[in-house]
């Protein structure tokens, strides 16, 4: 049995943050009804790589869902929305501030329609505070949540991360909140409003940087390779430093291409074995006992020397060869995996994290798999829906509408865009 079998979700979200959340819940077995306007989710046509087909942007975020098209600007469309609210356990949206309210559906109104329903909302900056009316995108959230100021090298510009921590990270936070609220609703019979702001989610993911921010009021940060001092205020950008109690950095390997790197963590427990293996090949046979690096305190002070020697050692090894040398020494390390590396990796394929699917418009394509593995209910990934593919199915099987009612509502424009006016 699927973990969320029997849970029905009315998904009004679009683009990335919300669909990330609802797709994960769908993979856990929830019946996710993607409630789309007649023009569909905007990402169906964004960055399209196959003419007249849903884009990878859309298909990779909307698997295992049913699509229903409803025109909420008609009274009939609003009635379909109300009827679905009564049949769903969760409703989720990520509209701009005030959009649902202008349609007449405040949280209070939705709660009145179905007191047990849980409403999930994603906003850039939340529904309160001086930033609440601002628009947010992935990189804006990273900028304002603390990620960019702490990412990059000290003398260079701040960088965004390639991981979508503003959008997809917010979706993950929302999933946790929805499941908690759903559990409470099953106990109390009362739903609640669950809000996640993108800026807040990024701040949560930057928690260790706020740890360091407070440490700087009392001391310098010995594990940083860049200079720090008590009272400096801002946590600095520190390149590829590990940011933890153990030293870590990326080591460049042959043939020294863009992704020919191995990330290495130099734990105190492995230093002796690592130094004895590396030292003789870099002209420092007594490296393990060298007073400049013999203790963790000295290695922190002189970590640039550690990285220089390890980079010299790596000059004649590929990242995989160096990994094979370090693993038997219990040195935590991992190659910098490119997208091509991951798409062809045996480990990734074996864990169903690169999954082939078929789509009626675009043919064969791949999606990233389900990262959460449930032993009793493994995810079965199905393709994303075509626009409005399940409209009639949902109206009949969920709402119990008959053919005559559906036909009348179609005639009234409940499921289509109004005809364009011809200029006189």
Residues involved in catalysis = 167
Beta carbons within 8 Å of 309's beta carbon, 6+ residues apart: 278, 279, 282, 284, 287
Indicate left, alpha or beta for 231 from its phi (over 0: left) and psi (-120 to 50: alpha): left
Q: Please say whether the beta carbons of 362 and 356 come within 8 A.
A: no
Dihedral sign of CA atoms 109, 113, 118, 119 in order: negative
Distances (CA, A) of 275 to 278, 283, 305: 5, 12, 12
**Distance, C-alpha 304 to centroid of its chain:** 33
- CA separation for the pair 282, 401 (Å, rounded): 77
Tokens of 273: 């074995």
Cα-to-chain-centroid distance, residue 39: 26
CA–CA dist 185, 194 (Å, integer):
12
Residue 230, judged by CB atoms within 10 A of its CB (0-12, 13-18, 19+), counts as: exposed
Q: Could you tell me if 246 and 268 are in contact, meaning their C-beta atoms sit under 8 angstroms apart?
A: yes
Return the DSSP state at 98. Answer: T
Please, how many CA atoms are within 13 Å of residue 342, restricted to the half-sphere of its CB? Answer: 14
- H-assigned helices in 28-74: 56-59
What is the edge-to-edge ordering of all strands in the sheet holding 65-69?
65-69, 31-36, 8-11, 90-93, 118-123, 193-197
* Helix (H), strand (E), coil (C) string for 254-293: CCCCCCCEEEEEECHHHHHHHHHHHHHHHCCCCHHHCCCC
Which of 178, 184, 192 has the alpha carbon at shortest distance from 108?
Answer: 192
């Amino acid at each position: 049995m699927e973990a969320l079998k029997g849970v029905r979700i009315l998904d009004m979200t679009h683009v990335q943050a919300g669909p990330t959340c609802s797709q994960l819940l769908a993979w856990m077995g929830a019946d996710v009804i993607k409630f789309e306007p007649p023009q569909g989710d905007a990402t169906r046509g964004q960055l399209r790589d196959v003419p007249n087909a849903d884009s990878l942007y859309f298909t990779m975020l909307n698997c295992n869902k049913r699509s229903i098209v409803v025109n909420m600007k008609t009274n009939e469309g609003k009635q379909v929305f109300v009827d679905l609210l009564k049949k769903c356990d969760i409703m989720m949206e990520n509209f701009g501030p005030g959009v649902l309210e202008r349609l007449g559906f405040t949280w209070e109104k939705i709660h009145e329609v179905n007191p047990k329903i849980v409403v999930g909302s994603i906003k850039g900056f939340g529904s309160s505070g001086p930033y609440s009316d601002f628009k947010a995108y992935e990189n804006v959230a990273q900028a304002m949540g603390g990620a960019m100021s702490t990412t990059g090298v000290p003398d260079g510009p701040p960088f965004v991360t390639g991981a979508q921590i503003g959008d997809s990270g917010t979706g993950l936070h929302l999933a946790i909140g929805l499941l908690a609220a759903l559990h409470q609703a099953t106990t109390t019979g009362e739903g609640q409003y669950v809000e996640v702001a993108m800026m807040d989610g990024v701040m949560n993911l930057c928690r260790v940087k706020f740890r360091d921010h407070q440490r700087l009021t009392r001391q310098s940060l010995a594990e940083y390779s860049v200079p720090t001092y008590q009272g400096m205020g801002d946590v600095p950008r520190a390149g590829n430093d590990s940011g933890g109690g153990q030293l870590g950095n990326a080591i460049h390997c042959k043939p020294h291409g863009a992704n020919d790197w191995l990330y290495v963590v130099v734990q105190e427990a492995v230093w002796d074995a690592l130094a004895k293996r590396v030292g003789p090949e870099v002209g420092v046979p007594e490296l393990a006992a060298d007073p400049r690096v013999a203790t963790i305190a000295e290695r922190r002070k002189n970590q640039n020397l550690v990285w220089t020697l390890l980079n010299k050692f790596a000059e004649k090894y590929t990242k995989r060869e160096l990994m094979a040398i370090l693993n038997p020494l219990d040195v935590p390390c991992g190659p910098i995996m490119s997208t091509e590396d991951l798409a062809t990796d045996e480990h990734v394929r074996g864990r169903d994290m690169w999954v082939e699917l078929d789509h009626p418009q675009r043919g064969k394509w791949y999606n990233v798999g389900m990262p959460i593995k449930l032993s009793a209910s493994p995810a079965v990934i199905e393709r994303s829906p075509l626009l409005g593919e399940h409209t009639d199915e949902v109206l009949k099987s969920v709402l119990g509408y008959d053919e005559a009612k559906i036909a009348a509502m179609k005639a009234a424009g409940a499921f289509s865009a109004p005809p364009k006016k011809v200029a006189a």
